[in-house]
Amino acid sequence: MSSFQLAVLASGTGTNLQAILDRVHGRDGIEVACVISNKPEAKALERARRAGVETAVFRPEDHEDRDARDAAIGDLLDARGVDLIVLAGYMELLSPDFVRRFPNRIINVHPALLPAFPGLDAVGQALEHGVRVVGVTVHFVDEGVDSGPIILQRAIDVPYTRDRSQLEEEIHRVEHELFPRAIRLIAAGAVRVDTENPRLVHVDEERAV
């Protein structure tokens, strides 16, 4: 397989980034080319440095507006020949121009069974609603909030105790499995958006990844 370059955008602790570094980076021709954050203090950046991966920070206040900042991020990604942009807890909305610049090349992980509970604090929203089942969704990013075509989903039963930290731990465990799997499937060419129905994503799960 020829080389497949990832960029990971992260704002926080970066446990999903770590899962990608541990489970995907440097295997089967897939490389994390760079890790980008809007926050210089993001722990995700430390994780990248420890793995010897290039880092870059694009703080909102250093750019005229979001469009200008995202254009600069896009230029870096193009310069690095990035094939797939992975949002792993990136807490900024990307500009519509950026999303259009990289069609079906941006993915996100969300801690809910979308389209239920998009946006911030999905776990809190789900517990508040009283659901029995939550889950994890990996999806392509479109111009909306957590609204793009769904690639993989996995359901998780809410524990009887409804203990939030226990539930979050389980969600993270599933994210750390599902997100790397989605990346490996995309890199292997096993993921394709339907030509007739752009909401529908065909995933050849039989592909050994």
Residues of this chain that bind ligand GRF (CB under 6 A): 10, 12-16, 88-89, 109-111, 175
Cβ closest to ligand GRF, residue 89 vs residue 148: 89
Contact 91/38 with Cβ under 8 angstroms?
yes
CB of 183 to ligand GRF, least distance (A): 14
Beta bridge partners of 154: 136
Sign of CA dihedral 86, 91, 93, 94: negative
Q: Quick one: which of 191, 180, 167, 204 has its CA closest to 109? A: 180
Cβ closest to ligand GRF, residue 59 vs residue 207: 59
Per-residue burial over 134-169, b if 16 or more Cβ lie within 10 Å, else e, is bbbbbbbbbeeebebbbbbbeebebeeeeeeeebee
Amino acid at 42: A
CB of 10 to ligand GRF, least distance (A): 6
Cβ closest to ligand GRF, residue 6 vs residue 202: 6
Cβ closest to ligand GRF, residue 68 vs residue 145: 145
Look up 110 and say whether it is catalytic.
yes
Helix (H, G, I), strand (E, B) or coil at 27: strand
CB of 12 to ligand GRF, least distance (A): 4
Q: Which of 25, 63, 110, 139 is catalytic?
A: 110
Tally Cβ neighbours within 10 Å of residue 62. Answer: 11
Helix (H, G, I), strand (E, B) or coil at 201: strand
CB of 13 to ligand GRF, least distance (A): 4
Report the catalytic residues. Answer: 110
